Structure 1
């Protein structure tokens, strides 16, 4: 059922049949309106929020002139009398997209000021109320709204709905694997950790690492997947990534196993201190799958060269040439013992500890890729020899 909120006002005008502009009272403004259309959640630590709160609490009578106002989207507006408007809101679970389009920081400032007993009886705020907007129309307004603080590109991509295909895939995976994924799709998203591994762009980079068609060392350019963020998603990019989605759980598994391997190595009681470059045992890391937390921090991209090596085992249709479970763990242990551990130790000895530079060194990407090719050839040779032996035994019988 739709939920109704009452807005106490001084006056209002109908700019057209689908838009009302009102002067609303701050001391009774509903602070629990949904944030569904907004492209980010309000951040009480941001400079913008602090400026709004200071303006509201120091000179509430001048707040109307100093604030840009609040933009809402509602299903219906029912004028109760000259001083009250009743707002009917359809929330997301009801198929709606109503709530605060712009002004989340302002509404949060109202709530906090009232909680701290500030007198807001003289404060007023301009409220623009759009009626019956579609989801796309609400998103367009949210993206176009002027703000005094920058909105990160990821939030804009999310507001356009471009991450929907990833969200749907993860929701299905959560049910199948009985787990929960902690992924931040937009700026200041509540309930998600700040760990960069839990950024939706991190998942996209993991998938890119397994795109053996786009990233091939035999090419003159684009030999290896980039580790820099590129959150803009065109239709072509979404189609490409959709083909890679079935591989995402494998990519996350490889990352999890690498972190387990690092944790086992640095907690060895025979060791004193950490001799791996860019690993800090004083902090913690959370991975996207909520089952995995580790007592050390590492660069978000530390697993990328390792994950990318696995693309050698995929054909052009992204099918595994060898069943994944038959080789995945053994191959990871092979890479760690023979290449990656030695590389991180040597970088630490050389005094190179900047994680981003270590993870972007093309030499280690090349070495791991070549190692993967050699490993695959050995496995295929064993499979051929085993098949020949079975044939010979069949002929003898």
Structure 2
């Protein structure tokens, strides 16, 4: 059922048949309006919030002139008989709507905080623009176009356009089948999600991008030998289609990352020299949370640390992204092989050389090349064993 909120106003007028502009009272402004159309959640630590809070609490009578106002979306608006209030009918996302605060989340948060601290806001007024009956796309378009005094990150804009929908749907299905919960931040200051870069939605895109053996194939593509590790803030239709084909590989990529972190955890828990961490870019004073809520670790590592290893696994995929060898038959042993013979030695040598910048270590093209060549060799040996085994079976059949 739609919910109703009352907005106490001094005056209002119809800017057009689907838009009302009003002068609203701050002291009674509804602070529990949904933030569905907004492209980010308000942040108390931001300069934007502090400026608004200072303005409304120090000189509330001048707030109307100094503030650009709040933009709302409502399903319906009904003025009271005496024209001193507006009743807003709000359809939330669960009801198929996209109503609520389009722009002004920091402002409403400042109102709430000022009232909690018992500031007198009876003289404060704020301009409110109310759009009526907007579609979801129209609300998002206004949210993206709204001017803000603080920059909005590219990820939030991509989310506001709905470009992560294909990934959200896949993860929702994965949560049901695996009985787990993913903690993914799709937009700026999203509440309930960790600030770990591993839990950024762009990190998931990096993980599956590493397994695109068609686009990133050193044997046929000399320009794009290995996947880039930079963020992918914008998604074209072509990119979305490509990533959608790769999505079935995401659970394997997540498993490889989880298992690598477990291997690192074992290594630093039982070091050669007690109390000494010999791995570059690993910080034992911090923690890491991975996207799957079941995995937390007592050390911090660069978000990209698993990417070179995951990328090497694309050698084991055919052109249709099917595993040439069943994943479970080779993946655990090969990962241990990579760690013992290549990656651990690489991180130890970087630590001895005094190199501690995680992003630089993870982007070294030499380690990407080494792991890729190692994967090719490992695959060839595995296939030769399979051929030899099949040959022996055929010989046994002939003898019989």
1:230 deviates by 2.2
Q: Give per-residue Cα distances to partners, 1:17-56, cap 9 Å, x unaligned.
A: 1000000000000000000000000001000000000000
Number of the residue aligned with 2:73: 73
Q: Which runs of 5+ in 1 are unaligned?
A: none
Q: Give per-residue Cα distances to partners, 1:336-381, cap 9 Å, x unaligned.
A: 0000000000000001110011000000000000000000001111
Aligned equivalents of 1:268, 1:292: Cα separation in 2: 20
Aligned equivalents of 2:321, 2:384: Cα separation in 1: 21
Aligned equivalents of 1:54, 1:63: Cα separation in 2: 10
**1:367 is paired with a residue of what secondary structure?**
helix
Number of the residue aligned with 1:321: 324
Q: Which runs of 5+ in 2 are unaligned?
A: none
Number of the residue aligned with 2:133: 132
1:391 deviates by 1.3
Q: Give per-residue Cα distances to partners, 1:244-282, cap 9 Å, x unaligned.
A: 000001001000000000000010054331000000111
Number of the residue aligned with 1:275: 278
Indicate conservation of the 8 Å contact 2:205/2:232, yes or no: no
Q: Considering only aligned residues, what root-mean-square deviation do their CA atoms show, in Å? A: 0.7
- Aligned residue-pair number: 397
Query: How does 1:190-205 map onto structure 2 within 5 Å?
Result: 190-205=191-206
Residue of 385, 394, 398 corresponding to 1:395: 398
Between 1:266-275 and 1:304-313, the stretch displaced more is: 266-275
Indicate conservation of the 8 Å contact 2:6/2:30, yes or no: yes
Number of the residue aligned with 1:89: 90
Indicate conservation of the 8 Å contact 2:282/2:301, yes or no: yes
Number of the residue aligned with 1:47: 47
Q: Give per-residue Cα distances to partners, 1:309-354, cap 9 Å, x unaligned.
A: 0000000000000000000000000000000000000000001110
Indicate conservation of the 8 Å contact 2:68/2:127, yes or no: yes
Residue of 295, 305, 308 corresponding to 1:305: 308
Aligned equivalents of 1:312, 1:116: Cα separation in 2: 60
**1:331 is paired with a residue of what secondary structure?**
helix
Aligned equivalents of 1:99, 1:384: Cα separation in 2: 64
2:334 aligned with 1:331: yes
Number of the residue aligned with 1:221: 223
After TM superposition, the score normalised by the length of structure 1 is: 0.99
2:364 aligned with 1:357: no
Aligned equivalents of 1:269, 1:321: Cα separation in 2: 36
Q: Give per-residue Cα distances to partners, 1:176-209, cap 9 Å, x unaligned.
A: 0000000000000000000000000000000110
Indicate conservation of the 8 Å contact 2:308/2:368, yes or no: yes
Residue of 249, 262, 268 corresponding to 1:266: 268
Aligned equivalents of 1:2, 1:390: Cα separation in 2: 70
Aligned equivalents of 2:293, 2:196: Cα separation in 1: 12
After TM superposition, the score normalised by the length of structure 2 is: 0.98
**2:4 is paired with a residue of what secondary structure?**
strand
Residue of 255, 259, 262 corresponding to 1:257: 259
Number of the residue aligned with 1:156: 157
